[in-house]
Amino acid sequence: MLSKRFKLRAIIEKGIYYLKTDPHVDVIERAGTKRFKKTTFDFLGQPLEIHDSASFRHSYEELFIRNTYQFKAINDAPLILDCGCNMGLSILYFKQLYPKSQILAFEADRSIYETAQKNIQRRGLADVRIYHNAVWDCETVVHFVTEGGLGGRVDHQTNTDNVKGVKTVRLKDYLQQPVDFLKIDIEGAEGRVLKDCRSELGNVQRLFVEYHSRYGDPQTLHESLAILQEAGFRYHIKEAHVASHPFMHQNLNYGMDLQLNVFAYRD
């Protein structure tokens, strides 16, 4: 039988994962390697349904290994808004961090939303509400591309089978009260939404936004950073998806030539 350390080394050499400690290997192995296929396995003492093994691996590393969303709240029951909650793994991370937290979450992909609902209901998390909506700057219906993993997005294209009509919510309406942590990972719609919310961002203590640069479209990072600065935030930027040699090739990821994690906080 292979030791955990040997299996960890094998996983790293295959380029699937970069892991720091051996216990994570068992979790990754239970998730399997099948793409776009629903699987259920034990996770944190309860059954967890996932819709795509690669999406789980990426999210697990981001959340439970790198602790990307870790933050210090001013009370033990922070209000968290999770825009783009996917299978609900981020919600489970937040509930581990703050068991008494109140969480409002949004997921636009119907199938993935249903998976997230199952994962929350199995754990009896009554103070979590998940909505099947896309986050936008008004209430309407938008075309949403269902990619099946982490890349679902609002798009203008309508000529493919994986485009669905999805109702939106206006994020601004949810920022009329103090918010301890706001996470925005909505695959390219973040700039439009931040512009609409700029007058309410003063109610937000900490904001995580993943900036997406779609190849061929104007880049708007400067506009988003100006909005954050105007709202009184300091910001810190880390790479999410970048090209190793951008002068030579763009290394597109679901049409994106650049993705950055932006952490906004107050002094």
Work out the angle at residue 120's Cα, subtended by the Cα atoms of residues 119 and 122, and round it to the nearest 5 degrees. Answer: 70
- Residue 71's pLDDT band, with cuts at 50, 70 and 90, is very high
User: Measured between alpha carbons, how far is 201 from 194 in angstroms, rounded to an integer?
Assistant: 8
Domains of the chain: residue spans and CATH: 1-67 (no CATH), 71-265 (3.40.50.150)
- Using CA atoms, how far apart are residues 90 and 99, in angstroms rounded to an integer? 13
pLDDT digits (tens, 9 = 90+) for 204-239: 999 999 999 989 899 999 999 999 999 999 999 999
Rounded to an integer, what distance in angstroms lies between the CA atom of residue 25 and that of residue 65? 11
Q: Indicate the pTM of the whole model.
A: 0.89
Indicate the length of the chain as a whole number: 267
Judge contact between 229 and 188, C-beta under 8 A: no
Return the SS3 of 258. Answer: strand
Render pLDDT for 95-117 as a digit per residue (tens, 0 to 9).
Answer: 999 999 999 999 999 999 999 99
- Which pLDDT tens digit goes with each residue over 147-163? 888 878 888 766 677 88
